[in-house]
Structure formats: C-alpha cells, structure tokens
C-alpha cells in the first residue's frame, strides 16, 4: 500500500523532478542546438564531432579523478596541470632523447604520476595539511621539475609505437579500408544491443523481486534516446577516420570510475567522508586512507593525462598543461558535484565536461578568441552552480 | 475534563472571552510541505503571563507551528490566522515577529563560539553611534544589563566558547531580552543541560512570569512541564489534541503521555526477565584516558568496570563526568591520547587500535550526537544502515545492491522506523526516527557489546519505548549493553547495575533494584565536595 501511494505521489511531481534531474543534460542539448545554428551547422561536421571527444578526452580523465577529491569535501587538486607537464616531459625526453623502450616509459610515467599523487596524498591524508595548500605547493614543485627535465625547451615525440598506443585510429581488417569505415557502426550496434539487453534484464529482475519499477515508457524511452545519440555519433565517426584509441582510453576510464563510485564499497566511502567525516570515522572507516587514495589516484590519472596530451599534441614544453586542472574542476561543478563534498556522479561530470567542450568548440569554429572563451566558460560555471544551489533551495532544502 | 473533545480555543473564545487576557491566538493553522501535511487545523491559545507547554511526539508538528508563528514560514505559505494582542499578524520574516516582541530560541543554540557574549547578543542588531560605527562601550554595557536580568555574572567580553552550555542558554535568553521580548518561545531549552542547570533555567522562567513575560516551552521532559507550566497543549500527528490546565485538569506525567500517544502508557519501561549470565562480556581495568589536546589533563582516571552477558549496565553522572570519553576510548581509541589499562572481551585480553577493530570484535558505540557523529544526513537510510559493515553486503568489494536494499528494508521494519521508503534522506526524518536508523546501523554490525550513549535524548515517549524494547531483546539474546544516560529514571528503569561517574572517576556502583535518584545524586555530590 505504502509503495502504491508513493508511486502516485512521484508521478504527480514527475515533470519538476525530471527537469531537476536532467537539468544539465537539457542545458547541454540547448547549448548544442544554439551553437549548431550559430556555426551554420558546422558544429555537427564529422571531424568536429570526432574531435570534440578527443580534444576533451584529457579533461574527462582528469575530471574522474578530481571528482573523487571533490567528493571528500569539496577539496580540489591544483597540481594536475603541473603533473601533466612533468610526466609528459619525462616521457618525451626518455623517448626522443634517450631512446627508451616505449612500454617501459609508459609504465614509468604512470608510476611517476602515482608517486606525485602519493606524495600529496600522504600530507593531505595522514598529516592533514589542507589540500589547497598542499596541491598549490605541488603545482609549483612539479611545474619546476617539469621545466628542469625539459631544460626549458620544447621536446617532440615522433615515435609511431608510442603515438599508436594513444592516438591511432582503429582499422579492423574486413570492415575498414581506406574508402569505407564500418567499425564504428558495428561497435555502435553492439553497444546498443547490450544497453537494451541490460534494460530488459534489469526490469525483469526488479519484477521478479517485486521492487518498484519505473514505467516501461520511461525506461525504454531513456534507453532508446541514449541509443539514438550513440548511433548518430558512431555514424559521424564512421564518416571521419573511425574510432581513435584515445577514445577507448577515455571511455574505459569513465566506465571504470563510474563503476567505482557507484558500485564498490570503497567508492561509497568517498561519499561518506564528504557527507560526515566524523560519523564515517566512527563507522570504522579509515578516513585518512580515503583522502590518501583520492589524491594518489588523482596523481595516477594526471600521469595518464600527461601521456595522452603528449601523444595528441606531439610535443611538450614548460607551459604544457597550464590551468588544465581548472577545466577538470569546472566540469565537476558544472556536472552537479557539491562544492561541499558528498555528492556528484561520473555521468554528471561527463555532461559537465561535454558542455564546456561544446562551448569551446562552438566558439572556436565561430572564430571567437580565447579571451571571450574564458569569459563564457566562467559565466557558465557560475550559472550552473547558481542554478544548482537555487533549485536545491526550492525543493525545500 | 469532559471538554477535552471540544477544541480548547473554542471554549476560551466562547466561555472565557472576557476573563482571559489572551496574548496569542493561532486559529486553524494548516501547513503543507510537498507530499506531507505537517499541521492540520491547529489551534493554540496562550494567555498573557503564563508558561504554556507545547508537547507531542517528534514530528508531531510543534516546531513547525512555532516556525509559522515566528515568520520563518512566511504568511501565505500556510493557511489560518494568527492574532497577537488581538491584532491579525502577517509576518513575512523572523524580523517582523521579533519587532512585535516574539522571540524564538532554537534547540541548537545559534551562538558563534569565537565571538564575545556582547557581540553575539547584538549580532545583526549592532549598537551604533552617530557616526555609524559600532559603539562597543554601549554594546557591552547593554549586554551586561540584560545578562544581569537572567542572573548571568560574566563579563560581556567573554568568548562564547569559554562558557558552558548552561550559560550559553542564558545568553540566548538575555539576547531575547535585548530584543524587548514579550512572548518567549523556547524549543527544547534543557535538552543539552544537566539537571542542575535545567532547574535553574526553569526557575528563571517562573521568575520572569511574575514580571509578566509569557513563555511557550517545547520539551520532551514531562517532569519539567509539571514543574513549571501552567498549561499544556498536546499536538499529535499535526493536530491539536487537547489543552490541559494546571489546577483544572489532571496535570500529571501519565495523563500527558496518554494524550501524546493516544492511549495510556502504564509502563514506560518494558519488563524483561533478568537472565544475567556469569560470563563477562566486556571488562576494563585501570582504564586511564588523557585529553587529546591537553596531554596532561586526565579525562578518565583508573576506571574499572565490567558488564556481564545478558546484562544492562548504566553509567550515570553529570555532563563532563567523562562518560562519553570513556565509551569512545574503549571503542577503538576513538577519543583521547595515551590510553592505558586493560580491556577484556569475553575474558580475553585484547587491544583495539581503531573503530574498525572494535567493530570486528563485536563492539558497537551508538553516539550521543546522532547528527554530528552518527549519521550522514544527506544520504539515504539504506546508505547509512550498511555503512559500518559495508563488506557484509559486498562481494569482492562490489556492493550487491539487492542485498543492501533488503537489509535496509529489514532493519527499517525491525526498528519500526517511520519512513516512506529506504531511499529517504536521513536528514528529513524526525529525531526519533533518526535515532532508530542509527540504532539499526549498529544492529547491522551484529554487536555482542552495545554501548548506548544517551540513546533517548530528544526523542518522544513512543520512540523511547521502542528503543527500550530493542535493548531488552539484545540482552535476552545474551548480549551485553552499556547505557550512558543523564536521565536517572531511565537508568533505574532499564539497568541491572549502575555505575556513577564524576569528574573522570568512578564514584560508586549500585544495584538498580536499590538505586534511587537521591542515592545516585549523593554519590555525585559527595564526590564533588571532597
């Protein structure tokens, strides 16, 4: 009886709840449509759409790590950009100047990123130095080391093995040849089949256990919409070079962190610490370790980003990665992460990063300069958070 | 007595219209939140110069009613009318009601610890000179004038953090006086005070009454109502049930409880068969704890106590006696430094270095402060229930959502938590239901030794009874329970043995059968005098 009653109540408020829940998705769609017209449709060119994800890939990867830091209580990591410079610099120098083994270099660089994260995580988690200070220090220290390694020069990488690992486009024999690229479509269809299968099996499972269900229309509508967007995107990819390895890296990281934050015990501890650290501690959870892992992990992902950036740009210099951390932080907050910690999701962060990406790309296509892009990005960040705060207040918080 | 069924406001308006000097009349107040009707046609009549108690279980709507009165919920967000001194009031903000002399003091004191008493008293209402600067001389002079009114002999330049909660409560009242209060509303003013300070506060209210101040007091402590109130209006499930008048109606704790829960409650403490087993569940010997910041200060000094299986042991004492600190230091050293002494669990000597180890060894500590130390208010019941032993619903560290949901459902049912669903944010529940979620969270860890710290603070009679039943169920299963409480009747009613602590030392041990409040008090006082 109680569940029935609740269901009715829910349905009454559906529209309002829907708007609040998907506000950022709606915002993304609106911005997308806006720039579509402002750029006379050029935004939707296959090359631009392919680049949208590739250019923002590093932001997505960083933002996943940043989300964990922010969850612990609105704490941010300012050193990410510098770690990217350091790791990218070390990789470039080892590969180009020293002729090091590529795989060994990659491992070493990931380890270097992790080490930077461990260094900061230790101070933040176990000695309780405020994250802002610790990572501000890290921002200077790692930038300095990066420039030392690079000897204040620009070092480029031409090694094809290295570039292939991160930036090549996948060619599946039989499906793809120089003229026609079918692999994105095949992958897209497979993924869509998988998504539909998951929806059906999850509904069946809920039915069997007698849990409350969304209406079939809502569930399948949502799934269909996602599938449609996915297929359209895959079609565009097939019009321009196909699937990049970079895309696989980014998707893998996003899926992994989505899984960690929503399904694992350890992921849940980040929310608990951000929600109420004292209560979490008294629940037998090592909160020091939670902080430590958040920042150690951020270092690791920054290391990966360093490699991704190096591969995409092809070179690294002392200014590489400057203010990249701000893009990651911005994506998290635009994507609905709380500035006080305790709430935020990977899917939200992805939407946030894409929103920033579309704005960047749209303005670039229109030929609007960097300076204005900064103004607009800042405005969007502020607006998103204002909207979040105000709508929370309205819903009786 | 027979008139209880008729709305009391009706009687007053018809029968005593010319006799009663009504200061406040709230008529047919209805307030709805999305999906919930918090107040439904509530009536309240308060006469000038009386102390009027507002009572009801948690979530009955007392605080909501007072928020309507004070303008926290502005006019238009509710229906019904408020007459104050015969005038129709339409308050839009708190400031509007304060301008009329209606001042509300909330349960959680709204004082800023690092500011002085004077600064706090005139916060947002600063005393300015002609130049527009703050006139500090006037501020402190005025502040001290009002502090004397409430019998607070401190300098107005003392920082709030340096005075105790009892005095902080007085500062709030002095602050109300500085706003020229005519109608003072106190929301659970004594919930964080010890008995002595509480009595002082109530005496103060009675004193003010003689000078014509009207007070509305919200409290769960029935003995306080009997002690100081002239009338008691009972609210249940968002509606007024009745108003009892001292000297006219039967004005006793039992009578009030009957009104609150809608049925007579003969026994406030459920009976259990006392089956204390010879085995000792938990024992500490020479347990000494030092303050975490002031390393030379001893908080608990050489304390030895034990609890058998199937036994409920109480720890009584005033606030600051070191009881919470003792419990937390046992619970994996979550309080204090330089802890020494021996800890035995089931007769085996062990050392617990962290709360995690304590939980693994079957010890659960249910904190006295559910909001800051116990629950994650922004998260759901489900999230909170499994937090302390998340591994129990995990496979390879991955949460089994289905298992988790069913655990939370079961626990909610077992605790009798009233909630629309397990996905409800804990912060949206009433105090009693929050306490049940907290208890459920610790039950889920399957403890053998359950340490309850003020388990019934600020919750209503019905919820208290439920919690007592749970305690009984625990000990019947052969578990050990340690109960820390400032409410002596509760300890006497529930425990087998009672330890008395004062100033960090164990002052005595009593069999609950022969324990009385006087005896416990005498242990405390004797110790203090020495």
Q: What is the reported pLDDT for A14?
A: 62
Task: Test A272 with B387 for CB contact under 8 angstroms.
Answer: yes
CA dist B364 and B286 (Å) reads: 21
* pLDDT > 60? residue B334: yes
Residues 6+ apart with CB under 8 A from A229: none
| ipTM exceeds 0.90, yes or no | no
Structure tokens at B521: 């008090």
| Cα of B388 to nearest chain A Cα, Å | 4
Q: Which of A278, A281, A343 sits opposite B378 (nearest CB)?
A: A343
CA closest to B421 among chain A residues: A3
Cβ(B150)–Cβ(B204) below 8 Å: yes
| Cα of A234 to nearest chain B Cα, Å | 31
| Distances in whole angstroms, Cα of residue B342 to Cα of each of B283, B302, B310, B428 | 8, 10, 22, 42
| Distances in whole angstroms, Cα of residue A316 to Cα of each of A157, B58, B219 | 9, 63, 68
pLDDT in tens, B472-513: 999 999 999 999 998 888 899 999 999 999 888 998 899 988
**Structural Rg of chain A based on CA atoms:** 22
Cβ(B443)–Cβ(B416) below 8 Å: no
Share of chain A above pLDDT 90, in %: 64
| Cα of A284 to nearest chain B Cα, Å | 4
Task: Test B421 with A280 for CB contact under 8 angstroms.
Answer: no
Q: What is this structure's pTM?
A: 0.79
* pLDDT > 50? residue B36: yes
Q: Which residues of B touch A13 (CB under 8 A)?
A: 34-35
Q: What is the dihedral of CA A247, A249, A253, A258, to 10 degrees?
A: 40
Cα B171 → chain centroid: 19
Structure tokens at A339: 């500035």
CA dist B399 and B390 (Å) reads: 8
CA dist A105 and A91 (Å) reads: 6
Best mutation site among B366, B375, B386, B390 for testing chain A: the one with the most A CBs within 10 Å?
A: B390
Q: What is the reported pLDDT for A330?
A: 94
Residues 6+ apart with CB under 8 A from B433: B58, B59, B417, B418, B419, B463
CA dist B50 and B232 (Å) reads: 11
Output phi, psi for A338, to 5 deg. Answer: -80, 140
| Cα of A292 to nearest chain B Cα, Å | 18
Cβ(B437)–Cβ(B417) below 8 Å: yes
Q: Which residues of B touch A276 (CB under 8 A)?
A: 372, 375-378
Type and span of the H or E element at B116: none
Please provide the distance, in angstroms rounded to a whole number, between the alpha carbons at the two ends of chain B. Answer: 51
**Structural Rg of chain B based on CA atoms:** 25
| Cα of B368 to nearest chain A Cα, Å | 12
Task: Test B377 with A13 for CB contact under 8 angstroms.
Answer: no
Cβ pairs A/B, distance under 8 A: 91
Angle CA(B290)–CA(B293)–CA(B298) in degrees, nearest 5? 25
Q: What is the reported pLDDT for B19?
A: 52
Q: What is the reported pLDDT for B15?
A: 46
Share of chain B above pLDDT 90, in %: 38
Q: What is the dihedral of CA B489, B493, B499, B502, to 10 degrees?
A: -10
CA dist B515 and B312 (Å) reads: 14
Tell me whether B398 touches chain A (CB under 8 Å). Answer: yes
Q: What is the reported pLDDT for B350?
A: 93
Residues 6+ apart with CB under 8 A from A14: none
Share of chain B above pLDDT 70, in %: 93
Residue with tokens 């929310």: A271
CA dist B472 and B269 (Å) reads: 10
Task: Test A343 with B331 for CB contact under 8 angstroms.
Answer: no
* pLDDT > 80? residue A101: yes
Q: What is the reported pLDDT for B35?
A: 59
* pLDDT > 50? residue A94: yes
CA dist A265 and A259 (Å) reads: 11
Selected residues 3-42 of chain B with any CB under 8 Å from a CB in chain A: 33-35
Angle CA(A104)–CA(A106)–CA(A110) in degrees, nearest 5? 120
Cβ(A49)–Cβ(A105) below 8 Å: no
Q: Which of A21-25, A158-162, A360-364, B1-5 has the lowest mean pLDDT?
A: B1-5
Q: Which of A268, A284, A286 sits opposite B399 (nearest CB)?
A: A268
Q: Which residues of A touch B34 (CB under 8 A)?
A: 13, 395-396
Residue B162: count other Cβ atoms within 10 Å of its Cβ.
11
Q: Which of A271, A279, A285 sits opposite B375 (nearest CB)?
A: A279
Output phi, psi for A343, to 5 deg. Answer: -145, 150
Task: Test A284 with B33 for CB contact under 8 angstroms.
Answer: no
Q: What is the DSSP string of A288-314?
A: HHHHHHHHHHHHHHHHHHHHHHHHHHS
* pLDDT > 50? residue B16: no
Q: Which residues of B touch A71 (CB under 8 A)?
A: none
| Cα of A95 to nearest chain B Cα, Å | 38
Residue A28: count other Cβ atoms within 10 Å of its Cβ.
20
Q: Which of B379, B390, B394 sits opposite A275 (nearest CB)?
A: B379
Q: Which residues of A touch B405 (CB under 8 A)?
A: 211
pLDDT in tens, A12-38: 456 777 777 788 888 899 999 999 999
Structure tokens at A290: 């939670």
CA closest to A275 among chain B residues: B376
Chain A residues with CB under 8 Å of a chain B CB are 2-3, 6, 9, 13, 205, 209, 211, 263-266, 268, 271-272, 275-276, 278-286, 342-343, 395-396
Task: Test A264 with B398 for CB contact under 8 angstroms.
Answer: yes
Q: Which of A172-176, B119-123, B267-271 has the lowest mean pLDDT?
A: A172-176
Average pLDDT estimate for A312-336: 92
Tell me whether B358 touches chain A (CB under 8 Å). Answer: yes
CA closest to A274 among chain B residues: B376
B91-108: string of b/e by CB count within 10 Å (b at 16+)?
beebebbbebbbbbbbbe
Task: Test B376 with A342 for CB contact under 8 angstroms.
Answer: yes
Which residues sit opposite B27 in a β-bridge? Answer: B81
Structure tokens at A379: 């405005």
Domains of chain B: residue spans and CATH: 1-101+182-266 (3.40.50.300), 108-179 (no CATH), 279-362+449-459+482-530 (3.40.50.300), 370-446 (no CATH)
pLDDT in tens, B432-442: 889 999 999 99
Q: Which of B33, B356, B394 sits opposite A396 (nearest CB)?
A: B33
pLDDT band at A7 (very low <50, low <70, confident <90, very high): very low
Q: Return the CATH fold of A23-168+245-391.
A: ABC transporter involved in vitamin B12 uptake, BtuC (1.10.3470)
Q: Which of A119-123, A378-382, B151-155 has the lowest mean pLDDT?
A: B151-155
Task: Test B355 with A13 for CB contact under 8 angstroms.
Answer: no
Task: Test A279 with B373 for CB contact under 8 angstroms.
Answer: yes
Output phi, psi for A344, to 5 deg. Answer: 145, 145
Instruction: Count Cα neighbours of A119 within 13 Å in the Cβ-side half-sphere.
Output: 16
Question: Where does residue A67 rank: exposed (0-12), middle (13-18), buried (19+ CB within 10 A)?
Answer: buried
| Cα of B296 to nearest chain A Cα, Å | 23
Structure letter (DSSP) for residue B391 = G
Q: What is the reported pLDDT for B266?
A: 63
Tell me whether B378 touches chain A (CB under 8 Å). Answer: yes
Q: What is the reported pLDDT for B122?
A: 87
Q: Which of A272, A282, A285 sits opposite B373 (nearest CB)?
A: A282
For the stretch A11-18, contacts whose Cβ atoms lie closer than 8 Å and that sit 24 or more positions apart, written own/partner, are: A13/B34, A13/B35
Q: What is the reported pLDDT for B486?
A: 82
* pLDDT > 50? residue B209: yes
Q: What is the reported pLDDT for B200?
A: 87
Tell me whether B292 touches chain A (CB under 8 Å). Answer: no
What is the longest distance spanned by two Cα atoms in chain A?
A: 72
Output phi, psi for B215, to 5 deg. Answer: -130, 145
Output phi, psi for A105, to 5 deg. Answer: -60, -45
Q: Which of B372, B387, B399 sits opposite A263 (nearest CB)?
A: B399
Strand order of the β-sheet with B298-308 is B298-308, B280-290, B337-345, B348-350
Cβ(B235)–Cβ(B55) below 8 Å: yes
Residue A177: count other Cβ atoms within 10 Å of its Cβ.
10
Instruction: For residue A47, give the nearest of A185, A209, A169 by alpha carbon.
Output: A169
């Amino acid at each position: 009886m109680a569940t029935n009653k609740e269901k009715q109540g829910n349905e009454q408020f559906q529209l309002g709840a829907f708007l609040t829940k998907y506000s950022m998705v709606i915002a993304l769609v609106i911005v997308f449509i806006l720039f579509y017209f402002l750029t006379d449709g050029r935004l939707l060119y296959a090359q631009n759409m392919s680049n949208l994800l590739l250019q923002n890939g590093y932001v997505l990867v960083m933002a996943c790590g940043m989300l964990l830091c922010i969850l612990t209580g609105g704490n941010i990591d300012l050193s990410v950009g510098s770690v990217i410079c350091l790791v990218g610099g070390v990789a470039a120098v080892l590969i180009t100047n020293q002729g090091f083994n590529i795989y060994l270099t990659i491992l070493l660089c990931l380890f270097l990123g992790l080490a930077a994260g461990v260094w900061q995580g230790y101070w933040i988690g176990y000695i309780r130095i405020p994250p802002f200070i610790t990572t501000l220090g890290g921002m200077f220290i790692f930038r300095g080391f990066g420039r030392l390694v690079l000897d204040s020069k620009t070092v480029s990488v031409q090694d094809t093995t290295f570039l292939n690992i991160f930036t090549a486009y996948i060619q599946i024999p039989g499906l793809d040849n120089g003229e026609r690229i079918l692999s994105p479509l095949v992958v897209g269809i497979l993924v869509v089949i998988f998504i539909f299968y998951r929806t059906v099996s999850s509904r069946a499972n809920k039915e069997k256990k007698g849990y409350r269900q969304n209406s079939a229309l809502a569930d399948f509508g949502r799934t269909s919409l996602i599938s449609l967007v996915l297929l359209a995107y895959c079609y565009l990819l097939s019009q321009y070079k196909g699937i990049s390895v970079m895309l696989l890296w980014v998707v893998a990281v996003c899926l992994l962190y989505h899984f960690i934050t929503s399904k694992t015990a350890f992921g849940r501890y980040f929310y608990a610490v951000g929600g109420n650290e004292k209560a979490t501690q008294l629940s037998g959870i090592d909160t020091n370790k939670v902080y430590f892992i958040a920042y150690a992990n951020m270092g690791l992902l920054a290391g990966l980003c360093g490699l991704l950036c190096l591969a995409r740009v092809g070179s690294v210099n002392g200014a590489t990665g400057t203010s990249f951390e701000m893009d990651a932080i911005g994506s998290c907050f635009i994507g609905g992460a709380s500035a006080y910690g305790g709430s935020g999701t990977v899917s939200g962060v992805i939407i946030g990063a894409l929103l920033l990406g579309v704005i960047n790309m749209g303005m670039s296509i229109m030929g609007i300069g960097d300076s204005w892009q900064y103004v607009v990005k800042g405005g969007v960040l502020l607006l998103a958070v204002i909207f979040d705060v105000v709508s929370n207040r309205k819903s009786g918080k | 007595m027979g008139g209880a069924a008729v709305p009391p406001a009706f009687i007053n308006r018809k029968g005593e219209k010319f006799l009663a000097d009504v200061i406040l009349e709230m008529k047919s107040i209805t307030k709805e939140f999305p999906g919930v009707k918090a107040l439904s046609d509530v009536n309240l009549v308060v006469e000038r110069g009386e102390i009027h108690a507002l009572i009801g279980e948690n979530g009955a709507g007392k605080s909501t009613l007072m928020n309507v009165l004070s303008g926290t919920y502005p006019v238009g967000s509710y229906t019904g009318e408020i007459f104050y001194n015969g005038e129709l009031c339409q308050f839009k903000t708190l400031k509007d009601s304060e301008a009329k002399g209606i001042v509300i003091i909330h349960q959680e004191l709204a004082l800023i610890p690092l500011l002085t008493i004077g600064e706090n008293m005139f916060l947002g209402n600063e005393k300015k000179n002609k130049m527009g600067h703050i006139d500090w001389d006037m501020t402190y002079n005025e502040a001290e004038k009002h502090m004397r009114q409430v019998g607070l002999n401190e300098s107005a330049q003392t920082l709030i953090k340096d005075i105790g909660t009892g005095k902080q409560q007085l500062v709030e009242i002095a602050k109300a006086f500085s706003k020229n209060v005519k109608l003072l509303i106190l929301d659970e003013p004594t919930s964080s005070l010890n008995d002595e300070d509480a009595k002082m506060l109530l005496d103060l209210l009675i004193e003010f009454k003689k000078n014509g101040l009207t007070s509305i007091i919200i409290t769960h402590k029935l003995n306080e109502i009997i002690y100081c109130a002239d009338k008691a209006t009972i609210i249940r499930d968002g509606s007024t049930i009745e108003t009892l008048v001292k000297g006219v109606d039967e004005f006793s704790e039992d009578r009030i409880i009957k009104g609150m829960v809608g049925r007579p409650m003969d026994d406030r403490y459920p009976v259990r068969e006392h089956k204390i087993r010879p085995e000792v569940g938990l024992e500490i010997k020479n347990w000494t704890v030092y303050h975490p910041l002031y390393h030379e200060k001893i908080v608990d000094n050489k304390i030895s106590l034990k609890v058998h299986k199937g036994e409920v042991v109480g720890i009584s004492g005033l606030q600051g006696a070191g009881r919470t600190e003792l419990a937390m230091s046992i619970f994996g050293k979550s309080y204090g430094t330089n802890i020494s002494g021996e800890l035995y669990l089931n007769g085996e000597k062990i050392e617990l270095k962290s709360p995690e180890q304590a939980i693994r060894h079957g010890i659960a500590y249910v904190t006295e402060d559910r909001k800051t130390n116990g629950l994650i208010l922004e998260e759901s019941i489900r999230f909170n229930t499994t937090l302390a032993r998340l591994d129990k619903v995990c496979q390879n560290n991955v949460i089994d959502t289905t298992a988790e949901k069913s655990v939370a459902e079961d626990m909610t049912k077992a605790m009798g938590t009233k909630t629309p669903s397990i996905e409800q944010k804990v912060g949206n529940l009433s105090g009693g239901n929050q306490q049940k979620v907290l208890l459920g969270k610790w039950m889920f860890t399957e403890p053998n030794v359950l340490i309850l710290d003020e388990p019934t603070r600020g919750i209503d009679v019905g919820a208290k009874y439920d919690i007592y039943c749970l305690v009984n169920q625990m000990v019947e299963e052969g578990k050990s329970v340690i109960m820390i409480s400032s409410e002596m009747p509760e300890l006497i009613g529930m425990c087998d043995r009672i330890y008395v602590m004062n100033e960090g030392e164990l002052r005595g041990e009593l069999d609950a059968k022969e324990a009385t409040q006087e005896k416990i008090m005498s242990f405390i006082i004797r110790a203090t005098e020495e």
